[in-house]
């Protein structure tokens, strides 16, 4: 998808369902599982079982962190539905990660609160903006 289309998709979702990705998943009937994995393994991932996406969030992260992780995974569900089964393979490339990161930033942040236009951010900036908001439970 084009950058502007991804931002618009996130805005449309935000306008219809609000900005809480966990509540958005509930509204869209996307199941969320909270799993106990070592934090350095996978903070979150999405699988498709019986044609239904399931977002798996690592329970070792704070509630706010889980929202950030969920926003990223929601981006994969909405834009990369055909790749959910293979996300651990080679097909899960940098472009898809960029798109999911851009979607998450557009969903969670307002452009007015950012000093750089999100459509001009590269994946490094998008990832840093998300990562600074991801923390383990104490």
Mean pLDDT in residue range 1-25 = 97
Instruction: State the average pLDDT for the chain.
Output: 91
Top pLDDT among 115 and 42 is at 115
Determine the 3-state secondary structure of 45 from DSSP: strand
**Rounded Cα–Cα distance for residues 136 and 138 (Å):** 6
> Would you state the pLDDT for residue 82?
75
> Would you state the pLDDT for residue 49?
87
For 61-112, write each residue's pLDDT tens digit. Answer: 999 999 999 999 999 999 988 766 545 544 445 899 999 999 999 999 999 9
**Rounded Cα–Cα distance for residues 72 and 87 (Å):** 13
* pLDDT confidence tier of residue 33, bands split at 50, 70 and 90: very high
> Would you state the pLDDT for residue 85?
54
User: In degrees rounded to 5, what are phi and psi of residue 120?
Assistant: -100, 0
Domain residue spans of the chain: 3-131
Give me the percent of the chain exceeding a pLDDT of 70. Answer: 92
> Would you state the pLDDT for residue 6?
98
* pLDDT confidence tier of residue 38, bands split at 50, 70 and 90: confident
> Would you state the pLDDT for residue 42?
84
> Would you state the pLDDT for residue 93?
56
Q: Would you say 107 and 13 are in contact if contact means Cβ atoms under 8 Å apart?
A: yes
CATH of domain 3-131: 1.10.10.2910
């Amino acid at each position: 998808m084009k950058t502007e289309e991804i931002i618009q998709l996130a805005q449309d979702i935000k306008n219809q369902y609000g900005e809480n990705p966990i509540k958005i998943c509930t509204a869209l009937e996307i199941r969320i599982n909270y799993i106990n994995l070592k934090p350095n393994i996978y903070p979150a991932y999405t699988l498709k079982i019986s044609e239904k996406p399931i977002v798996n969030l690592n329970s070792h992260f704070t509630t706010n962190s889980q929202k950030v992780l969920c926003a990223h995974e929601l981006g994969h569900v909405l834009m990369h539905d055909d790749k959910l089964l293979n996300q651990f393979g080679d097909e899960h490339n940098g472009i898809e990660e960029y798109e999911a990161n851009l979607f998450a930033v557009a969903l969670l942040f307002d452009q007015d609160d950012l000093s750089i236009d999100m459509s001009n951010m590269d994946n490094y900036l998008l990832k840093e903006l998300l990562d600074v908001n991801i923390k383990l439970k104490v």
